[in-house]
C-alpha cells in the first residue's frame, strides 16, 4: 500500500482534508501489517491493558463507522460503539491483523458517501458540519497513529513514519 503526501501547494481545503486522512489511514495499516496476531494483540503497557495494535485498529474501524458513515453520511449501519465502557477496543479470537485491516478498508469504502457533501454542509446528524466531522476523524486517527508507532516499536523494533 502506497502512502502519498498531499500536494504541498493544495488549494482545495476539502480535497486536502481527505488526502491527509487517507495518508493517516494508510500509516495506521502499515503499523499493523506484518505483525503476527500475538504481537498485534500484545498489551505492552501495564497501565493500559487494552492498548494493543489490534485494539487501536479495531477502534479506528468504529471511529470511521460512526463519524464518517453514520453521523456524517447517514448510512444505515450498526454502530460498533454500543455499550459502556467502549467495546471497540475489545478483541475477539477472530480479530487478526488481516481481518481488521480488511474491516478498516471496508469503512473507507463506506465513507466515500460523505465525500459527496460539501465541507460546509450539515452532516446527517445536523449538529455537525462535514468539515467538523472530517477534522475530528483526522485528529482522532493521528492520535492513534502515534500509539501505533509506539506499539509497533515495542512489538518488533520497527520504527519510522
Q: pLDDT at position 7, please?
A: 85
Note whether residue 6 is domain-resident. no
pLDDT at 19: 95
Q: What is the CATH number of the domain that holds 141?
A: 1.20.120.450
Between CA 25 and CA 68 the distance in angstroms is 13
Domains identified in the chain, total number: 1
Angle at 140 between CA 37 and CA 14, to 5 degrees: 120
pLDDT value of residue 136: 97
The predicted pLDDT at position 120 comes to 92
How is residue 48 written as a grid cell?
493500559
Distance CA 97, CA 102 (A): 9
Cα-Cα-Cα-Cα dihedral of 93, 160, 22, 119, to 10°? 120
Residue at grid coordinates 486517527: 141
Residues with Cβ < 8 Å from 47, sequence gap 6 or more?
Answer: none
Q: Which pLDDT value is given to residue 12?
A: 87
Q: Flag whether 116 is in a domain.
A: yes
Residues 135 and 17: their CA atoms lie apart, in Å, by 7
Residues of the chain with pLDDT under 50: none
Residue 108 lies in a domain: yes
Is residue 155 classed as helix, strand or coil in its secondary structure?
A: helix
Do the domain assignments include residue 33? Answer: yes
Q: 57 near 100, Cβ under 8 Å? A: yes
Assess if residue 36 is contained within a domain: yes
The CA distance from 115 to 131, in Å, is 11
Q: Does any domain span residue 7?
A: no
Specify if 8 maps to a domain.
no
At which residue does the C-alpha cell 509506539 appear? 150
Task: Flag whether 5 is in a domain.
Answer: no
**Structural domain span for residue 45:** 13-156
Q: Are 28 and 56 in contact (CB under 8 A)?
A: yes
Amino acid at each position: 500500500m502506497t502512502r502519498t503526501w498531499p500536494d504541498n501547494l493544495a488549494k482545495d481545503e476539502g480535497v486536502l482534508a481527505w488526502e491527509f486522512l487517507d495518508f493517516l489511514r494508510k500509516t495506521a495499516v502499515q503499523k499493523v501489517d506484518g505483525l503476527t496476531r500475538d504481537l498485534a494483540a500484545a498489551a505492552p503497557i501495564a497501565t493500559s491493558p487494552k492498548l494493543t495494535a489490534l485494539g487501536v485498529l479495531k477502534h479506528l474501524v468504529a471511529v470511521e463507522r460512526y463519524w464518517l458513515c453514520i453521523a456524517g453520511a447517514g448510512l444505515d449501519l450498526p454502530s460498533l460503539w454500543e455499550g459502556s465502557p467502549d467495546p471497540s477496543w475489545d478483541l475477539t479470537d477472530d480479530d487478526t491483523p488481516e481481518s481488521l485491516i480488511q474491516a478498516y478498508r471496508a469503512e473507507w469504502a463506506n465513507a466515500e458517501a460523505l465525500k459527496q457533501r460539501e465541507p460546509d454542509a450539515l452532516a446527517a446528524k445536523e449538529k455537525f458540519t462535514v468539515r467538523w466531522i472530517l477534522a475530528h476523524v483526522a485528529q482522532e486517527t493521528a492520535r492513534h497513529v502515534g500509539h501505533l508507532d509506539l506499539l509497533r516499536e515495542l512489538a518488533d523494533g520497527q520504527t519510522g513514519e
